[in-house]
C-alpha cells in the first residue's frame, strides 16, 4: 500500500525535475555566468588531463589497422529523402537490410525519432544509385574519406603514429591520406560509396522529431565485405612490426548476401591472423552496428576472443551483452543512457568475456594445446554525454585517465568539426553526480569541475569516466566513434 502510494509522487517528482532540467537547458541565457564558468573549468581541466602525458616514446608508435574503407557522401538526411520523393511513413519498423523505398522510410523513421546511430545494407542497387544521384547534387553535400579503418588511421597519423592501413582503395583515395599511412591492398577504380544521412537534434521528418543529432548510413558495398586486403595486410604486417593492431569495418559483412560458408571462412582466416600475431601486440576491435545474429556468433567465436581491447557506443554495448547472454540482438537501446547503466553493462561484458577466456585456456591446457585467446584488458564505451573505460590493473595499457579525457575532448572536436573547442558551442548533459552502479546503496560520485575525470579501482581493474562537452553546432556525427576510439588508444599504447 505504502509503496503503491508513493509511486505517483516518484513519477511526479521525476517529471518535475525533468521539466526543470529541460527548462534550464532551454532558457540558459548566454549571460548565465555560473554555468559558463563551470563549462570553462571543465574544459581547461580536461585539456590539462589530456596534456599530462605526451606520447613519450621517442619513435612514433606503429599501428596496423584493417579493413576496408569507402568514400562517404554526407548529406542532410531529411533533405535527401524529401528530394528523392520518399514520404514519411506511419510505421517505424526495424529491417535487417533494405530492399525498397518503403523499408528505407520505415527503418529511417525507427532510428531517427530516438536519434540512434544506424547503418544498413541496401540490397537494391537501383534504389541505391538513385539515392546517390540525388545526394550528388544536393546543396550542402560533402565528400570525405570514410570507413572505420581509414578514419581511425587518419586520426592515429594526426596524433603522431605510423600506420599500416589494410584496404582496397582507388588512387584518388590513397592520395588524400596522410604521408604517415601506408596502404596494404589492391588498387581499384571505383571505391564503395556510403551515403551518410545526418540530422541535427530537433530535426523534423513528417510527424517525427529527432531527440538528438545522429546519422543513418546506407551502403551497398561490393568490395569491403570480402576483406579483400587481408592477405596483403597479413604479409606487410610481418615487416611492419606494429605496437598495436586494430580491427574495424566488419559490419560491412552484416546482412551481405554471401555464398554459404563464405563469411565464416573469411572471419576464421581473420581469427587465425590475429591469433598468430605476437602476444605482446595489443589487439583492439572496434564494434559497430551489427544486426545479424549469425555474424555476432561468428565474431564471438573468431574475433572477440583475440582482442585485448574493445571499443563501442551505447547501442553496441547492450547488443554485445545480449549476444553474450544468448538473447536476441537488441537493435535499439536508449541513446542517452545513465552512467550507472553503462558501467553495469561494461562490468558484465568484462566479466563474461574474461570468464570465457579462462575456460577456453583451461580447456586448451587440458588438451595440451596452446591457448589462442587473450583476456580482455580494456573496454572503452563512447556515449554522447560521457566516455567510460575499464582497464585491467597492471595490463599493457597506460595513462587511462588522460586517455579518457582525450577521448572526451575528441568527441567535441569531431562533432563540431574544429580542433579548438569553443565553450559557447558546448554543453554538459551529464548529471552533477552519478551513481557507479544501479545496485542499491551504490556510491555516488560528484562531477568535480577541476577534476572532471573520475577514476577508481574495483576488483582487478580501474574505471575512468569523463563528461563530454557535447557539441551544440553539429558539423558531423558519422565517424565520431572512430575518431574518439582512436584518440583514446593513442595515449595508451
Ligand X SMILES: *[C@@H]1O[C@H](CO)[C@@H](O)[C@H](O)[C@H]1NC(C)=O
Q: Does 65 bind ligand X (CB under 6 A)?
A: no
Q: Scan for cell 589462442, then name that residue.
A: 372
Q: Does 106 bind ligand X (CB under 6 A)?
A: no
The answer to whether residues 393 and 461 touch, using CB atoms and an 8 Å cutoff, is yes
Q: Does 220 bind ligand X (CB under 6 A)?
A: no
Contact pattern for ligand X over residues 298 through 317, marking x by CB under 6 A: --------------------
Q: Mark 416-455 as b/e (b = at least 16 C-beta within 10 Å).
A: beeeebebebbebbbbeebbbeeeeeeeeeebebeebbbb
Q: Does 101 bind ligand X (CB under 6 A)?
A: yes
CB 325 to ligand X: min, Å: 11
Q: Scan for cell 524529401, then name that residue.
A: 82
CB 274 to ligand X: min, Å: 25
**382: Cβ–Cβ under 8 A, 6 or more apart, which residues?**
311, 312, 313, 314, 407, 411, 480, 481, 484, 485
Among 126, 179, 278, 439, the residue binding ligand X under the rule CB under 6 A is 126
| Rounded CA separation 478/72 (Å) | 9
Q: 86 or 234: whose CB is closer to ligand X?
A: 86
Rg (the chain; Cα; Å): 22
Q: 137 or 239: whose CB is closer to ligand X?
A: 137
CB 404 to ligand X: min, Å: 18
Q: Scan for cell 558501467, then name that residue.
A: 343
CB 192 to ligand X: min, Å: 19
Q: Does 319 bind ligand X (CB under 6 A)?
A: no
Choices 27-35, 90-98, 126-134, 300-308 (CB under 6 A): range interacting with ligand X:
126-134
Among 99, 172, 359, 432, the residue binding ligand X under the rule CB under 6 A is 99
Q: Does 488 bind ligand X (CB under 6 A)?
A: no
CA angle centred on 312, ends 196 and 484, rounded to 5°:
70
| Rounded CA separation 124/103 (Å) | 11
CB 102 to ligand X: min, Å: 9
Q: Does 160 bind ligand X (CB under 6 A)?
A: no
| Rounded CA separation 49/44 (Å) | 9
Q: 5 or 326: whose CB is closer to ligand X?
A: 326
Q: Does 479 bind ligand X (CB under 6 A)?
A: yes
CB 399 to ligand X: min, Å: 20
The answer to whether residues 344 and 437 touch, using CB atoms and an 8 Å cutoff, is yes
Q: 218 or 390: whose CB is closer to ligand X?
A: 218
Choices 9-17, 148-156, 296-304, 401-409 (CB under 6 A): range interacting with ligand X:
148-156
Q: Does 158 bind ligand X (CB under 6 A)?
A: yes
Q: Does 133 bind ligand X (CB under 6 A)?
A: no
Q: 295 or 465: whose CB is closer to ligand X?
A: 295
Q: Does 87 bind ligand X (CB under 6 A)?
A: yes
| Rounded CA separation 477/119 (Å) | 13
The answer to whether residues 225 and 253 touch, using CB atoms and an 8 Å cutoff, is yes
Q: What distance lies between CA 17 and its chain's CA centroid?
A: 30
Among 85, 139, 261, 368, the residue binding ligand X under the rule CB under 6 A is 85
Choices 17-25, 95-103, 308-316, 399-407 (CB under 6 A): range interacting with ligand X:
95-103
Choices 16-24, 122-130, 397-405, 459-467 (CB under 6 A): range interacting with ligand X:
122-130
Q: What are phi and psi of 367, to 5 degrees?
A: -90, 5
CB 435 to ligand X: min, Å: 28
Choices 15-23, 82-90, 207-215, 428-436 (CB under 6 A): range interacting with ligand X:
82-90
Q: 186 or 204: whose CB is closer to ligand X?
A: 204
The answer to whether residues 320 and 295 touch, using CB atoms and an 8 Å cutoff, is no
Among 54, 202, 394, 417, the residue binding ligand X under the rule CB under 6 A is 417
Q: Does 483 bind ligand X (CB under 6 A)?
A: yes
Q: Which of 429, 180, 148, 412 is nearest to 288 (CA)?
A: 148
Q: Scan for cell 572477440, then name that residue.
A: 304
**Residue 345's beta-bridge partner residues?**
none
Contact pattern for ligand X over residues 340 through 379, marking x by CB under 6 A: ----------------------------------------
Q: Does 155 bind ligand X (CB under 6 A)?
A: yes
The answer to whether residues 343 and 463 touch, using CB atoms and an 8 Å cutoff, is yes
Q: 97 or 461: whose CB is closer to ligand X?
A: 97
| Rounded CA separation 328/325 (Å) | 9
Q: Does 179 bind ligand X (CB under 6 A)?
A: no
DSSP-based helix, strand, coil % in the chain, nearest 5: 40, 20, 35
Q: Does 30 bind ligand X (CB under 6 A)?
A: no
Q: Which of 224, 71, 231, 240 is nearest to 161 (CA)?
A: 240
CB 57 to ligand X: min, Å: 19
Burial classification of residue 14, based on how many CB atoms lie within 10 Å of its CB (0-12 exposed, 13-18 middle, 19 or more buried) = exposed
Among 89, 154, 255, 402, the residue binding ligand X under the rule CB under 6 A is 154
Q: What is the DSSP letter of 224?
A: G
- Binding residues for ligand X, rule: CB under 6 A, are 82, 85, 87, 99-101, 124, 126-127, 130, 151, 154-155, 158, 328, 414, 417, 476, 479, 483
Amino acid at each position: 500500500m505504502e509503496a503503491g502510494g508513493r509511486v505517483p509522487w516518484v513519477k511526479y517528482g521525476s517529471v518535475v525535475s525533468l521539466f526543470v532540467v529541460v527548462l534550464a537547458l532551454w532558457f540558459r541565457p548566454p549571460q548565465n555566468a555560473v554555468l559558463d564558468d563551470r563549462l570553462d573549468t571543465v574544459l581547461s581541466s580536461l585539456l590539462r588531463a589530456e596534456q599530462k602525458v605526451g606520447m613519450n616514446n621517442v619513435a612514433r608508435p606503429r599501428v596496423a589497422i584493417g579493413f576496408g574503407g569507402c568514400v562517404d557522401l554526407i548529406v542532410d538526411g531529411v533533405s535527401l529523402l524529401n528530394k528523392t520523393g520518399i514520404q514519411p511513413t506511419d510505421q517505424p519498423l526495424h529491417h535487417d537490410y533494405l530492399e525498397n523505398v518503403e523499408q528505407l522510410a520505415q527503418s529511417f523513421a525507427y532510428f531517427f525519432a530516438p536519434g540512434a546511430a544506424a547503418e544498413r545494407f541496401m540490397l537494391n542497387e537501383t534504389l541505391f544509385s538513385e539515392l546517390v544521384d540525388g545526394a550528388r547534387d544536393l546543396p550542402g553535400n560533402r565528400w570525405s574519406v570514410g570507413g572505420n579503418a581509414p578514419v581511425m588511421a587518419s586520426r592515429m597519423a594526426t596524433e603522431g603514429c605510423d600506420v599500416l592501413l589494410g584496404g582496397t582503395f582507388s588512387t584518388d583515395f590513397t592520395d588524400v591520406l596522410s604521408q604517415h599511412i601506408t596502404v596494404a591492398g589492391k588498387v581499384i577504380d571505383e571505391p564503395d560509396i556510403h551515403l551518410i544521412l545526418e540530422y541535427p537534434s530537433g530535426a523534423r521528418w513528417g510527424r517525427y522529431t529527432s531527440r538528438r543529432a545522429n546519422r543513418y548510413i546506407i551502403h551497398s558495398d561490393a568490395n569491403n565485405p570480402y576483406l579483400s586486403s587481408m592477405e596483403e595486410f597479413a604479409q606487410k604486417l610481418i615487416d611492419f612490426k606494429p605496437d598495436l593492431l586494430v580491427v574495424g569495418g566488419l559490419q560491412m559483412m552484416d546482412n551481405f548476401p554471401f555464398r554459404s560458408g563464405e563469411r565464416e571462412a573469411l572471419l576464421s582466416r581473420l581469427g587465425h591472423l590475429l591469433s598468430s600475431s605476437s602476444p605482446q601486440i595489443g589487439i583492439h576491435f572496434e564494434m559497430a552496428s551489427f544486426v545479424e545474429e549469425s555474424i555476432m556468433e561468428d565474431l564471438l567465436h573468431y574475433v572477440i576472443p583475440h582482442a585485448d581491447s574493445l571499443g563501442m557506443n551505447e547501442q553496441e554495448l547492450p547488443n554485445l551483452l545480449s549476444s553474450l547472454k544468448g538473447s536476441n540482438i537488441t537493435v535499439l537501446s536508449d541513446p542517452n543512457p545513465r552512467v550507472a547503466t553503462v558501467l553495469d553493462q561494461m562490468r558484465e561484458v568484462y566479466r563474461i568475456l574474461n570468464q570465457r577466456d579462462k575456460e577456453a585456456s583451461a580447456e586448451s591446457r587440458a588438451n595440451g594445446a596452446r591457448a589462442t585467446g587473450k583476456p580482455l584488458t580494456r573496454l572503452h564505451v563512447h556515449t554522447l554525454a560521457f566516455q567510460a573505460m575499464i582497464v585491467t590493473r597492471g595490463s599493457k595499457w597506460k595513462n587511462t585517465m588522460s586517455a579518457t579525457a582525450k577521448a572526451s575532448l575528441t568527441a567535441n572536436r569531431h562533432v563540431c568539426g574544429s580542433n579548438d573547442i569553443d565553450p559557447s558551442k558546448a554543453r554538459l548533459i551529464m548529471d552533477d553526480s552519478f551513481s557507479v552502479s544501479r545496485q542499491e546503496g551504490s556510491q555516488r560520485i560528484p562531477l568535480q569541475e577541476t577534476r572532471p575525470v573520475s577514476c577508481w579501482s574495483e576488483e582487478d581493474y580501474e574505471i575512468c569516466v569523463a563528461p563530454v562537452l557535447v557539441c551544440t553546432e553539429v558539423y558531423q556525427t558519422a565517424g565520431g566513434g572512430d575518431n574518439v576510439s582512436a584518440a583514446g588508444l593513442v595515449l595508451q599504447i
